[in-house]
């Protein structure tokens, strides 16, 4: 009798969290992610297909119904869907030239929350994360220590840090140390 084998996906660092003085770290649930490249003439059609207006202002993001589009460059966006949708499938019907690549499992997301959240990230990120320079909704690709990350400010005291899966050990360790220092 053949046995039925089922494979379960175990996300990197699933369920980990660190609570410090004034800052908490939590590995977020897996999400659908898409790396999107497009020229200006396709932006409107892609926005319509995705149900979220692709931001065209540097360091900004737009969110609607569990889906967030982060401006990474003049023709590049990271689209994160936490509502179980499939952004790549949604773009499939768009005629204009574009590149939509599913990178869902490439990234690990860490929520950094609390009054010391900005200080925690700033321990390894050279960008100005003050509210004046990096307001709620601001998003940017940047660095943390020696690796590249994408930072999204989801609230005054909450950030979403996205890093590549193979860097997630380093990022988690870095942020955990920083959270202890920031407290």
Partner 1 sequence: MLLIRCPYCEEERPELEFRNAGEAHIARPTDIASISDEDFEKFFFIRSNKKGLVFERWRHVHGCARFFNAVRDSVSDKFLLTYKAGEPKPDVSTLTAEGGPAAWANRPPDQLNEKPKSKRSTKGEA
- Name the residues that contact partner 1, by CB under 8 A: 58-59, 72-74, 76, 126-128, 130, 132-133, 140-143, 148
Beta bridge partners of 63: 68
- Tell me the closest approach of the beta carbon of residue 133 to partner 1, in angstroms: 4
Within a 10 A sphere around the Cβ of 69, how many other Cβ atoms? Answer: 27
For the beta carbon of residue 163, count every other beta carbon within 10 angstroms.
25
Rounded distance between C-alpha atoms, residue 145 and residue 163, angstroms: 12
Which residues contact residue 97 at a Cβ distance below 8 angstroms, ignoring those fewer than 6 apart?
38, 39, 42
The residue (of 74 and 84) whose beta carbon lies closer to partner 1 is 74
Closer to partner 1 by CB, 141 or 165: give it.
141
The CB-of-71 to partner 1 minimum distance in angstroms stands at 8
Question: Rounded to the nearest whole angstrom, what is the least distance from the CB of residue 83 to partner 1 in the complex?
Answer: 27
Between 123 and 127, CB nearer to partner 1: 127
Q: Residue 158 and residue 153: Cα distance in Å, rounded?
A: 6
Nearer to partner 1, 77 or 172 (CB): 77
């Amino acid at each position: 009798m053949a046995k039925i084998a089922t494979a379960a996906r175990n996300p990197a660092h699933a369920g980990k969290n660190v609570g410090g003085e004034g800052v908490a770290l939590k590995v977020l649930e897996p999400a659908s992610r898409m790396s999107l490249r497009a020229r200006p003439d396709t932006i409107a059609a892609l926005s319509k297909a995705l149900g979220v207006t692709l931001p065209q202002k540097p360091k900004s993001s737009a969110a609607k119904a569990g889906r967030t589009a982060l401006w990474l460059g003049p023709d590049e966006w990271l689209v994160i869907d936490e509502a179980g949708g499939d952004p790549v499938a949604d773009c499939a019907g768009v005629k204009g030239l574009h590149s939509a690549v599913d990178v869902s499992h490439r990234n690990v997301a860490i929520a950094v929350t609390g009054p010391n959240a900005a200080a925690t990230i700033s321990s390894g990120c050279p960008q100005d994360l003050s509210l004046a320079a990096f307001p709620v909704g601001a998003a940017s690709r940047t660095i943390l220590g020696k690796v590249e990350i994408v930072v999204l400010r989801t609230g005054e005291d909450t950030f979403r840090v996205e890093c590549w899966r193979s860097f997630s050990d380093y990022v988690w360790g870095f942020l955990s140390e920083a959270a202890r220092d920031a407290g």
